[in-house]
């Protein structure tokens, strides 16, 4: 494994990866470059649209059948004849073009979790996906960003894409998180500080002692939500934790890329998290963030633990620790959904599901579930949900007259027990 460390150009890692992928030694903010893509992903919602565009191309060829990933995750198992037909179409495409990285129902899980745990993301490369939360993969040191379905079709055919080089904001985080405060609380705090449009088309780079101590799972949560501040991508330089996570997952060699020692940033934000309390994003904006104890007496109808943001095994362990030996409050529905089949099996092995079921929770298959309001677990008029997901827009999880609050899995689990939004520290 090689390493790209110094170019003497003062480039942050975000720009350095784009330069490498474009065959350049240097790029600057606002410049347009054509970069080689290492991997492209589509899911069951965006994939059919990509196929529509692909079929209009003069040459219907794929540039590399091994670098296209298709994941069925948003509406699985099929919830209507229409979605079943879309799934069928994607299966046919995968078979026709020999796409081996096709994750059907029961074979994968949520696309962003599947991408990292199946080794489709390598440090130092450009990875794109037809889903806005593709930025998640930056936690492994890749330049990862969401693209449109038409762009995905272009990548299918050519293996490259035009990019505007983003400005970069460095977010340096120091201090130890309290035992009941988690990476989700940190990223909610960051989005609250920056604002929902405070980082439009920027790259966010996370550095500092807090990030170094954080596991890969927590880093995935951080990078997953940078798009909620308008960012193009989020990234964390790879370290020994990254390399250890990738062992046995990534089959090819890779070359990590690091910021120059004299890297220049358009903006910098410094935080100390020693006093950070659990955070909650209140309706109807991810940037409408308050410490949990300042939210007020908010009763809930539903609590949801899952999604590409917080459906990993560490999230389920924390929730189970709070729920063990306790009961979900009458009148509250608790839905728990692992982010992948791999996580599902691990949770089963560890006995977490028994804890959830005995507490009164519903366990769903490895799917996006109610996160996008497109499948089961939707909200009725006037209902309130506290969720470990990443968005709380009007109508996001069902009725436009419902309300969604965002929090960590710990806060969600604690709230399910009390029936109102609750600080998890009393249960930990």
- Are residue 287 and residue 203 in the same domain, yes or no? no
Helix, strand or coil, per DSSP, at residue 308: helix
- Are residue 286 and residue 162 in the same domain, yes or no? no
Domain presence at residue 2: no
Per residue in 6-31, pLDDT (tens digit) is: 445 899 999 999 999 999 999 999 99
Q: Of the candidates 331, 279, 327, which has an alpha carbon nearest to the alpha carbon of residue 300?
A: 331
Per residue in 179-237, pLDDT (tens digit) is: 999 999 999 999 999 999 999 999 999 999 999 999 999 999 999 999 999 999 999 99
Q: Of the candidates 146, 161, 142, 148, which has an alpha carbon nearest to the alpha carbon of residue 63?
A: 161
Helix, strand or coil, per DSSP, at residue 56: coil
Specify the pLDDT at position 114. Answer: 98
pTM check: above 0.85:
yes
- Are residue 267 and residue 285 in the same domain, yes or no? no
- Are residue 247 and residue 158 in the same domain, yes or no? yes
Domain presence at residue 8: no
- Are residue 304 and residue 411 in the same domain, yes or no? yes
Write out the H or E segment, with its range, that includes residue 173: strand 167-174
One digit per residue, pLDDT tens: the chain, 428 residues?
444 444 458 999 999 999 999 999 999 999 999 999 999 999 999 999 999 999 999 888 999 999 999 999 999 999 999 999 999 999 999 999 999 999 999 999 999 999 999 999 999 999 999 999 999 999 999 999 999 999 999 999 999 999 999 999 999 999 999 999 999 999 999 999 999 999 999 999 999 999 999 999 999 999 999 999 999 999 999 999 999 999 999 999 999 999 999 999 999 999 999 999 999 999 999 999 999 999 999 999 999 999 999 999 999 999 999 999 999 999 999 999 999 999 999 999 999 999 999 999 999 999 999 988 877 899 999 999 999 999 999 889 999 999 999 999 999 999 999 999 999 999 98
Range of the domain at 209: 13-271
Q: What is the DSSP letter of 372?
A: G
Q: How far is CA 129 from the centre of its chain?
A: 12
CATH code of the domain covering residue 324 = 3.30.499.10
Q: Whole-angstrom Cα distance, residue 12 to residue 35?
A: 17
- Are residue 238 and residue 287 in the same domain, yes or no? no
Q: Whole-angstrom Cα distance, residue 234 to residue 224?
A: 8
């Amino acid at each position: 494994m090689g390493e790209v460390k110094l170019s003497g150009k003062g480039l942050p890692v975000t720009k350095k990866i784009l330069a490498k992928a474009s065959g350049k030694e240097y790029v600057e903010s606002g410049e347009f470059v054509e970069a080689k893509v290492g991997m492209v992903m589509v899911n069951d919602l965006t994939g059919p649209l990509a196929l529509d565009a692909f079929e209009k191309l003069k040459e219907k060829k794929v540039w590399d059948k091994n670098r296209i990933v298709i994941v069925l995750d948003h509406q699985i198992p099929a919830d209507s004849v229409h979605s079943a037909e879309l799934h069928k179409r994607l299966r046919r495409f995968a078979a026709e073009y020999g796409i081996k990285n096709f994750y059907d129902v029961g074979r994968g899980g949520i696309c962003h979790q599947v991408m990292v745990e199946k080794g489709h993301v390598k440090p130092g490369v450009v990875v794109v996906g037809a889903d806005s939360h593709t930025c998640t993969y930056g936690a492994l040191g890749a330049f990862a960003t969401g693209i449109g379905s038409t762009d995905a079709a272009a990548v299918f055919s050519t293996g490259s894409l035009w990019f505007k080089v983003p400005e970069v904001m460095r977010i340096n985080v120091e201090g130890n998180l309290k035992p009941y405060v988690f990476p989700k609380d940190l990223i909610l705090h960051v989005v609250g500080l920056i604002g929902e449009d405070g980082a439009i088309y920027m790259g966010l780079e996370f550095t500092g002692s807090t990030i170094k101590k954080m596991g890969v799972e927590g880093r995935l949560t951080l990078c997953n939500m940078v798009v909620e501040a308008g960012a193009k991508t989020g990234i964390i330089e790879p370290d020994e934790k990254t390399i250890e996570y990738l062992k046995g997952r990534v089959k090819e060699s890779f070359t990590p890329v690091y910021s120059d020692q004299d890297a220049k940033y358009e903006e910098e934000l410094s935080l100390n998290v020693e006093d950070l309390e659990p955070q909650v994003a209140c309706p109807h904006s991810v940037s409408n963030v308050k410490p949990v104890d300042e939210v007020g007496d908010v009763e809930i109808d539903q609590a949801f633990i899952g999604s590409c943001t917080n459906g990993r095994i560490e999230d389920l362990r924390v929730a189970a620790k709070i729920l063990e030996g306790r009961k979900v409050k009458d009148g509250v529905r608790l839905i728990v959904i692992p982010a992948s089949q791999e996580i599902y099996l691990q949770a089963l092995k560890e006995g977490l599901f028994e804890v959830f079921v005995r507490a009164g929770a519903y366990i769903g298959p490895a799917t996006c579930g109610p996160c996008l309001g497109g499948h089961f677990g939707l909200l009725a008029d006037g209902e309130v949900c506290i969720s470990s997901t990443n968005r709380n827009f009007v109508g996001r999880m069902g009725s436009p007259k419902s309300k969604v609050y965002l929090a960590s899995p710990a806060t969600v689990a604690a709230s399910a027990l009390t029936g109102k939004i609750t600080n998890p520290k009393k249960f930990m």
